[in-house]
Amino acid sequence: MQWRVLGSLAAAFALASSTAMAQDFPSKPIRIIVPFPPGGTADIVARVVSDKMSQDLGVALVVENRPGGAGGSVGTMEIARAPADGYTIGIATVGTHGTAPATAPKPLYDPAKDFSYISNIAGMPMLLAAGPSLGSANLSAVIEQAKQKPGRLSFASGGTGGVAHLMGVRFELASGVTLAHIPYRGANPALNDVAGGQVDLIFDALASSQPYLQSGRIHALAVSGEHRLPALPQVPTFAEAGLPTVSTRAWYGLVGPARMDPKVVDRLYTAVKKALETPEVKARLDKLDTEAIGNTPEEYRKQVVDELDGWRRLATSQHIVAD
């Protein structure tokens, strides 16, 4: 009987302590882990929102880059293993929480179970572009040529099992063509070879492709999203081209370790939402060719879980395993 009373008291004390900590949150600086090197889109997005979030929360938000591992697994694992007190959170992407765990031979973490979801910060369109080897061909002409010469046309991506690779596979399935996949270690070398005529096509994010598009070294064939892009008004969407299942968007969201107090999650979400509503943040995201999202924790979790299921089914059916 005595042990039961002591156990009940301990549980009550722990609950009261946890509630008090959530009510006092935040009371010290918060770390934002970015599982990629400085200077990339994920890093810039983290720094853009952290400045405004810091003003709302009243504490410093310190961005720490933790690159390494396949698909950013080193930094992502650090987020998952952190104490669930809200003082260590991080950036998640379609790669870290979608394609990487879907194609890994032995996933190191489960996006559906190992994280608390705060908000999807921003999304970026993806596109299909052609290099000089295809001249000025439009999407219909490229598909027709690919059907006449199965496996002869090639497409580049930033790596096996990445979002660009899987987007290419979706394109093959939707259009009924067979392409030769040429994986690279990152988007820049892939873009260089497409622009140089060594590879015919590339699936990529708008931001990294933009300098090549503006210089005329490659030309866009189709873009993801529900509407045409202001930056490329003459380029049809995949949906307009009759290929809606190809449309994929890169995204950058905020997550924490599993089992975070809902009140802490809500406090962080409110700060993100307010940051995304400011003209300064909107303007800086526009320069990155990204669109502010700011969905709720519940919406963000559902988005990730649904997308992950789709990537897993695609990887399994097409026998795709990341290097």
Q: pLDDT (tens digit, 9 = 90+) per residue, 179-200?
A: 999 999 889 999 999 999 999 9
Q: Name the pTM for this structure.
A: 0.88
209, 222: one domain: yes
78, 156: one domain: no
104, 180: one domain: no
149, 194: one domain: yes
- Rounded to whole angstroms, how far apart are CA atoms 75 and 66? 5
Note the pLDDT of residue 185. 86
- Considering the domain boundaries, does residue 24 fall inside one? no
Q: Find tokens 């998640």 and name the residue.
A: 92
Q: Is the pLDDT of residue 96 over 70?
A: yes
Note the pLDDT of residue 259. 98
74, 217: one domain: no
| Cis check: omega of the bond before 26, within 30 degrees of 0 | yes
Q: Is the pLDDT of residue 36 over 80?
A: yes
In this structure, what CATH number is given to the domain that contains residue 208?
Answer: 3.40.190.10
Q: Is the pLDDT of residue 7 over 70?
A: no
**For 261-317, how does the pLDDT look when each residue is reduced to its tens digit (9 = 90+)?**
999 999 999 999 999 999 999 999 998 889 999 999 999 999 999 999 999 999 999
DSSP bridge partners of 157: 183
3-state secondary structure of 253: strand
Domain extent at residue 163:
125-246
Domain final position from 202, 218, 246 = 246
- Considering the domain boundaries, does residue 105 fall inside one? yes
Note the pLDDT of residue 323. 76
DSSP bridge partners of 223: 127, 237
- Rounded to whole angstroms, how far apart are CA atoms 216 and 187? 17
Inter-CA distances, 143 with 109, 151, 160, 182, 201, Å: 38, 12, 22, 18, 11
Q: Over pLDDT 90: what percentage of the chain?
A: 85
Q: Number of structural domains, the chain?
A: 2
In this structure, what CATH number is given to the domain that contains residue 86?
Answer: 3.40.190.150
Q: What is the mean pLDDT of residues 9-22?
A: 52
Residues in CB range of 130: below 8 A, 6 or more apart: 137, 142, 194, 200, 201, 218, 219, 221
Runs of H (alpha helix) within the chain:
2-24, 41-57, 73-81, 100-103, 139-148, 163-175, 187-195, 206-214, 262-276, 279-287, 297-317
288, 230: one domain: no
- Considering the domain boundaries, does residue 91 fall inside one? yes
Q: What is the mean pLDDT of residues 145-165?
A: 96
Mean pLDDT of the chain: 93
Note the pLDDT of residue 287. 87
**For 97-154, how does the pLDDT look when each residue is reduced to its tens digit (9 = 90+)?**
999 999 999 999 999 999 999 999 999 999 999 999 999 999 999 999 999 999 999 9
Q: Find tokens 């009759």 and name the residue.
A: 242
- Considering the domain boundaries, does residue 157 fall inside one? yes
